[in-house]
Chain A
Amino acid sequence: MSDTPLDPVIHAQARLRVVAALSTLGPGDQIAFPRLQEILGMTAGNLSVHLRKLEDADYVEITKTHRGRTPVTLVALTHRGRGAFEEYTASVRALLQPPDIKEKT
């Protein structure tokens, strides 16, 4: 198979789930950290670690702000992150296609 290797940043169970969940938001939308945590069923510590890795790859943008006086952490998929997720999904789909559809060498 000459396929490019799967994106190592997303090709990890926890981060794949994070990115998949974030991909359901509209472009330009951010979600509050605790809500994302609830959706994924991860601990805050665990989620933070994975978000940091995604942020380092510029796949996720984390904004710290205030709502009234309460500090809020907002998470969003970046344009680049969305592209990477779409590419990953497409590659995985391609790997699952029956061999006869693929070009024969």
Chain B
Amino acid sequence: MSESFVDNDQPPGDPAEALRMIEEQRASAVRQIYVDDRWWFWPWGFAWLVGFGLIFLRFGPDGRVFVDLPDWLPTAVLVALIVAAGAISGVTGARAYGHLAGESAKRGAYYGWAWMITFTTMTVILVRISDRLPDDLQIMVWSATMVGLTGALHLAGGAIWLNRQLFTLGAWISVVNVAGVLAGPGWQALIMCIAGGGGMLAFGLFASHWHRRGRRA
């Protein structure tokens, strides 16, 4: 399109054309500006699904071992996938807000910092007390604390963006987390794998769908 040579100061041909131009331009801007919600939720859902899945297989309920993996492997995989998910969220944030300034960009940046600061805080606390915990409780306490924090931050995200779906996801994560803790070590990993990880994946799919529909309307 060599638009510089086109006299685009012309009015649209008729009202129908004007409306079509408005709708097309808005749809195209939305497509180009807003990153797909799946980029936010799927890396985390995948990390929980695989990481907690492996923990369940290695450290099942009542000390059962379904698959004899090396002790260190399941948690190492979970931590690695969570770090990767965090990095993807960082890149997604840069893509979503990098070319924007103003309120949304500030909210996004503060929210990103809130995740980093609170996760660092919790890690320091847990490292300090972890050795005093009985073996079977270590994984459970680490997971439940971090997942609880994730739930709280999603609830806060819902409040910041007045987004009911995000708030609901936070509530869901919190409920699943409590259910896992009540069910006890082993079962907790299974619940987090299916309801937590699976729930996050399903949510990402729906959120992406709602978002595209909502913005275009």
A interface, CB within 8 angstroms of B: 6, 11-14, 16-17, 20-21, 23-32, 34-35, 38-43, 45-46, 63, 65, 72, 74, 76, 88-89, 92-93, 95-96
Complex: how many Å from CA A20 to CA B33? 13
B26 and A23 within 8 A (CB): yes
Complex: how many Å from CA A34 to CA B103? 20
Within 8 A of A (CB), among B92-136: 99-105
Q: Cβ of B1: which chain A residues have Cβ within 8 Å of it?
A: 41
Complex: how many Å from CA A72 to CA B99? 10
Q: Cβ of B30: which chain A residues have Cβ within 8 Å of it?
A: 24
- Nearest CB on A from B16, distance (A): 6
Indicate whether A76 sits within 8 Å of B102 (C-beta atoms), given known contacts A13-B8, A20-B22, A23-B26: yes
Sample of 5 A–B contacts (CB below 8 Å): A14-B8, A21-B29, A27-B103, A35-B33, A46-B3
Q: Cβ of A40: which chain B residues have Cβ within 8 Å of it?
A: 25
Q: B84 an interface residue at 8 Å Cβ cutoff?
A: no
B interface, CB within 8 angstroms of A: 1, 3-4, 8-12, 15-16, 18-19, 21-22, 25-26, 28-30, 32-33, 99-105, 215
B4 and A16 within 8 A (CB): no
- Nearest CB on B from A34, distance (A): 8
6 shortest interchain CB distances as A-B pairs:
A28-B103, A14-B8, A35-B99, A20-B25, A21-B29, A95-B15
Indicate whether A89 sits within 8 Å of B19 (C-beta atoms), given known contacts A12-B10, A13-B8: yes
